[in-house]
Amino acid sequence: MLTKNKAGPPGRTGRYLKYAIGEVLLVVVGILLALQINNWNELKKQDRLKGVYITRLLNDVESDTVSINYVRSEIEKNQNVIKNLIDSINLNLDDNVLEEVLQNYFSRGWIIHEFVANDNTYTDLSQTGNMNIIKNTDLIDEIIQYYGYLEQVDNSNNVNKNWITPLDLEVAKLTAAFELDPSTRSLFTHKNKSLAIKNIQSNAELLERNAAGHFWINESLSGNLQALKGVCNDLINSLKEEK
């Protein structure tokens, strides 16, 4: 006697299949949602970090403009001292008056100014690779160009310093400069001050060339800083727009 196979209720397999597919879809949607939330959080994190870097860069460049103004004002004071020396060195001035002129020159005219930019944030961005969080490629180019220009200004000033140093050494070696320099004059109290002044006067041409060299270097740095200030202002405006 033949028996019939018992089949499950109609549609039960189909319901199981739909249920399994639904479970898979829920898992997939859950994974995609989690990935989307993670990406969203990562983007928010990068955006906050970018904001921190933009603010730091802005503070650095604004600080540079303050330093530029200060260095240029100090250079202007030096230039006035140098002009006064050249105007006075060949005049028959009283020793006390000429001594003051010479002391001012040896205390200020000999100074070779430096401009030191605040590049901490740029160094951080460059070394960590975080420059990539700034998506504005035009701004990245502007930042890189600015710090490249800073390097050019520094290199130019170093060349000038190397050029004037031999002349400074010549003045120090051949004249009584140290006997009148406020920083070292206390070492030469046993020397006759009037003779030291006469020694300087007898080497007036050498001192004039030395002073003119420092004047030229000051003008070079001041001009470079004036140009740099314009670049600073442009970058400041771009950074403010990015905030």
Residue with tokens 């006997």: 179
Name the CA dihedral angle for 85, 89, 90, 93, rounded to a multiple of 10 degrees.
Answer: 110
pLDDT per residue as tens digits for the range 64-89: 999 999 999 999 999 999 999 999 99
Res 57: pLDDT: 96
Give the model's pLDDT for residue 40. Answer: 73
pLDDT digits (tens, 9 = 90+) for 97-141: 999 999 999 999 999 999 999 999 999 999 988 998 898 999 999
| Tally of structural domains, the chain | 1
CA distance 206 to 170: 8
Alpha-carbon radius of gyration of the chain: 36
State what percent of residues in the chain have pLDDT above 90. 74
Contact (CB, 8 A) for 197 and 95 = yes
- Specify if 4 maps to a domain: no
6: confidence class by pLDDT, cuts 50, 70, 90: low
Rounded mean pLDDT of 207-213? 96
119 in any annotated domain: yes
Q: What is the pLDDT of residue 36?
A: 72
- Residue 6 belongs to some domain of the structure: no
Helical spans, DSSP H, in the chain: 12-88, 95-104, 120-128, 137-174, 177-180, 193-202, 204-242
164 pLDDT exceeds 70?
Answer: yes
Per the domain annotation, does 110 fall within a domain?
Answer: yes
pLDDT at position 122 is 95
CA distance 86 to 102: 10
Query: What's the Cα-to-Cα distance from 132 to each of 56, 122, 126, 145, 198, rounded to whole Å?
Result: 16, 12, 9, 16, 64
pTM for the whole structure:
0.81
Residue 173 lies in a domain: yes
Token pair 């100074």 is found at 111
- The token pair at 160 is 């000038």
Domain of residue 127, residue span: 13-242
Q: Are 201 and 19 in contact (CB under 8 A)?
A: no
pLDDT in tens, 14-38: 777 777 777 777 777 777 776 777 6
Inside any domain, residue 8: no
